[in-house]
Amino acid sequence: MDWKAYYAGELRTPDARKRMTSWLKRARREGPPGGVPSKTVLSFPHTTLDAAGPLQAVVAEAICRCGCRRVITLGVLHTSALPAASVAADPARPGSERERAFAELAGGFLGAADGLVTPFGTLPPASAAPAPSAFLRSDDDVLRNEFSLDTFHAVLRWSATLQQSEPPHVLPVYIGLTRHPVSGSYAVADVLGAWLRKQWDDETAIVATGDLVHYGAVYGSPALSVAPPELETWSLERLKEVLRLGLEQRDDEAAYEIAWQELRSDQREMLPVLARMLDGGARADILAYELTDYADILRVPPPCRVASALVAYTRDAEDIGASGVRQGFRDEENRNRGHMNAARQSSPKKTVGILGGMGPAATIEFFRRLVAATPAAIDQAHLHILIDNNPHVPDRSAAIFGQGEDPGPALADMARRLESCGADFLTLPCNTGHAFHRAIRDAVSIPFIDMIEETVRTLHVTRVGLLSTTGTIHTGLYASACERHGVSLVVPNASDQELVMDIIRRIKAGGSGTSVREHAARVVASLEAQGAEAVIAGCTEISLIPGDNMPLPWIDALDCLVEASVRRALNASSDIESEDTQ
Tell me what pLDDT residue 227 has: 62
Cβ neighbours for 218, distance < 8 A, ≥ 6 positions apart: 298, 300, 304
Check residue 316 and give its pLDDT.
Answer: 62
Domain 338-450+563-569 has CATH 3.30.70.360: no
pLDDT tens string 322-370:
333 333 333 322 323 333 343 334 345 899 999 999 989 889 999 999 9
How many angstroms separate the CA atoms of 517 and 544, rounded? Answer: 10
CA distance 304 to 231: 11
Between the CA atoms of 334, 336, 338 and 342, what dihedral angle is there, to the nearest 10 degrees?
A: 10
Q: What DSSP designation does 513 have?
A: S
Residue 34 has pLDDT above 60, yes or no: no
Sign of CA dihedral 279, 283, 286, 287: negative
Q: Which of 304, 421, 539, 560 is catalytic?
A: 539
354 in Cβ contact with 429 (< 8 Å): yes
- Whether 68 is catalytic is no
pLDDT of residue 38: 55
Q: Give the contacts of 105 (CB within 8 A, at least 6 positions apart).
A: 77, 79, 82, 84, 85, 88, 142, 176, 177
Q: What CATH number has the domain spanning 3-211+271-291+309-314? A: 3.40.830
Query: Do the Cβ atoms of 201 and 331 come closer than 8 Å?
Result: yes
Percent of the chain with pLDDT over 70: 88
- pLDDT for the residue numbered 160: 87
Largest CA distance in the chain: 90
Q: How far apart are CA 23 and CA 95, in angstroms?
A: 49
User: Can you give the residue ranges of every domain in the chain?
Assistant: 3-211+271-291+309-314, 338-450+563-569, 454-562
| Confidence band, pLDDT 50/70/90 cuts, at residue 515 | confident
The CA-based angle 408-413-417, given to 5 degrees, is 145
Cα 32 from Cα 41, distance rounded (Å):
13
Give pTM, 2 decimals. Answer: 0.56
pLDDT at position 231, please?
A: 87
pLDDT at 272 over 70: yes
Note whether 539 and 504 are within 8 A (CB).
Answer: yes
Please report the pLDDT score of residue 247 as a whole number.
Answer: 92
Q: Is the pLDDT of residue 86 over 80?
A: yes
Q: What are phi and psi of 314, to 5 degrees?
A: -130, 140
What mean pLDDT is reported for the chain?
86
Return the pLDDT at 165: 79
Domain 454-562, CATH class in plain words? alpha beta
Alpha helices in 347-493 (DSSP H): 360-373, 396-400, 408-420, 437-443, 451-456, 470-475, 477-484
Please write the tens of the pLDDT for every residue from 459-500. 888 999 999 999 999 999 999 999 989 999 999 999 999 999
What is the C-alpha separation between 213 and 291, in angstroms, rounded?
8
Q: What strand order describes the sheet that includes 488-490?
A: 488-490, 463-467, 534-537, 554-556
What value does the mean pLDDT take over residues 302-318?
A: 83
Neighbours of 573 (CB within 10 A): 7
On the question of a common fold for 338-450+563-569 and 454-562, the answer reads yes
For the stretch 184-239, pLDDT in tens is: 999 999 999 989 988 888 788 999 999 999 998 888 877 666 666 688 899 999 99
Q: Which residues are CB-contacts of 478 (< 8 A; sequence separation ≥ 6)?
A: 452, 456, 466, 468, 472, 489, 536, 538
**416 burial type by CB count under 10 A (0-12 exposed, 13-18 middle, 19+ buried):** middle
Mean per-residue pLDDT, 272-289: 89
Q: Is 539 a known active-site residue?
A: yes
Q: What pLDDT does residue 324 have?
A: 34
Report the pLDDT value the prediction gives residue 572, as an integer from 0 to 100. Answer: 44
pLDDT confidence bin for 578, thresholds 50/70/90: very low
The H or E element containing residue 110 is strand 108-110
Residues contacting 389, CB < 8 A, separation 6+: 134, 356, 357, 360, 363
Q: What is the mean predicted confidence (pLDDT) over 34-39?
A: 49
316-355 burial, b if ≥16 CB within 10 A, otherwise e? eeeeeeeebbbebbbbbbeeeeeebeeeeeeeeebbbbbb
Position 562 pLDDT exceeds 60: yes
Separation CA 372–CA 498 (nearest Å): 33
Among 64, 430, 482, 560, the active-site one is: 430
Amino acid sitting at position 50: D
Residue 192 and residue 177 in contact, taking contact as beta carbons nearer than 8 Å: no
Q: Which of 131-135, 170-174, 248-252 has the lowest mean pLDDT?
A: 131-135
